[in-house]
Amino acid sequence: MKASFSEDESKDARKDSAPLVDPDELEDWVIHQDDSIIALNKPGWLVCHPSKNGPWSSLVGAVRVHFGLDQVYLAGRLDRETSGLVLIGKDETAGRKWQKALEEKRVRRSYWAILVGELKEEMHVEGFLGKDPHSEVFVKQRVTVKSNKSKRAQTSFLPLHSANGHTLCAIVTGTGRKHQIRVHAQSIGYPLVGEKLYGLDERYYLDFCRAGWNEDWLERLGMRRQALHSRTFGFSDGGPSFVAPLAKDFLSFLVDALGMDPSVETILEEQATRWVEARFQGE
């Protein structure tokens, strides 16, 4: 029998232990705000969509209550453990504008990730994704063949810095499939640091859903969450664009495990930006 847990469900999401958003911290997450949208730097412990545990247990709920909005409209969601840029429309028109831009591929969106292993050159992965019939986890995906149940997926990886058995890389996707980056990273032999589902053993994910985080796992997984960060977001034909600073736990791993100087983030961002622009112009 397959486990039907979603990525946003675990013991930590139960009412008696759910982490709640601090209103003061929420203000610190705001990267940009105007009359129509709010761009936020989501932490890697918070779900995007409304939760049964009240408005302060999800990003959408907290934003709606804190900013006194009747409705909010999410333009592209992130998994709970993925940190970084999220755009929320303050009205339906704004939300639909960004969502339509995403669907029409008029948005340049990029991610940063930390991989297990030292990736030495740019890699482009293209193929099909579908549900993994051999997994106990209902939502788990895998690389598969073309069929009426699979979907085409494209992901490109650019190594920015490699050291001590790990790689910081920039990522762009040509499609937006479930778990796409994580599946493709595993498929090329460089899974994400902190990966419970597409890493060493999916039993980490199953045990996490049933009983929460086990501190004994940290030595093997490296981080308490998957090392994936939504870095940039902007229109390809002009208009606003945003950059989300790296999450503290993400940056700490780069310093401690890869020996990186935090100040190098700005230099690497310039390199990543040139690559992202070239990737989108080449489509």
Give the residue numbers annotated as catalytic, written as ranges: 79
Which amino acid is residue 82, in one-letter code? T
Task: Yes or no: say if 176 and 76 are a contact pair by the CB < 8 Å rule.
Answer: yes
Which amino acid is residue 199, in one-letter code? G
Task: Yes or no: say if 155 and 169 are a contact pair by the CB < 8 Å rule.
Answer: no
**Residue 27 backbone phi and psi in degrees, to 5:** -60, -35
Which amino acid is residue 50, in one-letter code? P
Residue with tokens 């980490």: 204
Long-range pairs for 60-65: beta carbons < 8 A, 24 or more residues apart: 60/88, 62/21, 62/23, 62/26, 63/26, 63/38, 63/88
Rounded to whole angstroms, how far apart are CA atoms 210 and 207? 5
DSSP string of 114-142? EEES---S-EEEEEEEEE-TT-SBTT-EE
Tokens of 98: 């960004």
